[in-house]
Amino acid sequence: MGELPRHIAVIMDGNGRWAKKRLLPRNAGHREGLKRMISLSEHAFGRGIEYVTLFALSTENLARPQEELGALFALFRKYFTENLERLKAKGIRLKVIGDERLLPGDIWALARSGEEETAGGKSGMLVLAIGYGGRQDILAAVNAAVRGGKEVTGEEFSALLSTGGIPFPDLLIRTGKEKRLSNFLLYECAYTELYFSDKMFPAFTNADLDRALESYAKRDRRYGKI
């Protein structure tokens, strides 16, 4: 086994289709997705990965029917209340990114208190992206830079993104068959290795993650050099 990525990002897509295939409501797919997300992230940290960034809701997803959004919000609340002890026990720090204006305030209150409660974690960081859009995040950073009144370096610009201080992802995994970024981490993924799986997220197992890591280990990251 070659090198392990320090930071993996996952576009957790396919919950709805997973449920549909089983004649279940879409929300059942999201519930199953949350379970998978917890197990998968713990597996990743167990393997020695330091940062796991998970795309759970995009800015564009906020145009979905209220019923589905309500179910997703309920799952976020559940995650932020029921999962903190597990994170703390494993020394994992939680960070939540996304546009605070787009989701109910109580979700952000729970997210921020989860961040505070896990702030002492030294073994890894779990970054959950909710109400997040890459373009919007870049634009917010540009505007912050403009307000600063002087040109910024690449390093200073990265620090203004909501992922500021976190190394760029080494490997991005997208489940659910589609081969696109759907507005995730657009600046951060400039040199990230991409891995696409046809499996729907609830069916993407820890062994599937191991396969993605094996694929990553065989890649030659040239960064434009020869």
Q: How far apart are CA 164 and CA 188, in angstroms?
A: 10
Q: Structure tokens of 150?
A: 């002087």
Side-chain half-sphere of 40: how many Cα atoms within 13 Å?
28
176 lies in the binding site for ligand IPE (CB under 6 A): yes
8 A C-beta contact, residue 51 and residue 124: yes
> Which member of 5, 10, 13, 49 binds Mg ion (CB under 5 A)?
13
Q: How far apart are CA 155 and CA 2, in angstroms?
A: 29
> Which member of 9, 11, 103, 172 binds ligand IPE (CB under 6 A)?
11
> Which member of 8, 28, 56, 213 binds ligand IPE (CB under 6 A)?
56
173 lies in the binding site for ligand IPE (CB under 6 A): no
Applying CB under 6 A, which part among 116-124, 150-158, 172-180, 207-215 lies near ligand IPE? 172-180
Widest CA span in the chain: 56
165 Cβ contact list (under 8 Å, min separation 6): 159
Applying CB under 6 A, which part among 12-20, 36-44, 106-114, 189-197 lies near ligand IPE? 12-20
Q: Which of residues 31-50 bind ligand IPE (CB under 6 A)?
A: 33
Q: How far apart are CA 97 and CA 147, in angstroms?
A: 21
Pattern 117-156, binding to ligand IPE, x per CB under 6 A? ----------------------------------------
The residue (of 114 and 176) whose beta carbon lies closer to ligand IPE is 176
> Which member of 5, 7, 9, 12 binds ligand IPE (CB under 6 A)?
12
Residue 61 among the catalytic residues: yes
8 A C-beta contact, residue 91 and residue 122: yes
- How many CB atoms sit inside 10 A of residue 62's CB? 15
Residue 55 interface partner, choices ligand IPE, Mg ion, none, CB cut-off 5-8 Å depending on type: ligand IPE
Applying CB under 6 A, which part among 158-166, 176-184, 188-196, 202-210 lies near ligand IPE? 176-184
Catalytic residue among 15, 61, 83, 183: 61
Q: How far apart are CA 206 and CA 185, in angstroms?
A: 23
Which of 217, 212, 209 lies closest to 4 in space, CA to CA?
A: 217
Q: How far apart are CA 24 and CA 28, in angstroms?
A: 6
16 lies in the binding site for ligand IPE (CB under 6 A): yes
Active-site residues, by number, are 13, 61
Interacting residue ranges for ligand IPE, rule: CB under 6 A? 11-17, 33, 55-58, 60-61, 72, 176, 178, 180, 182
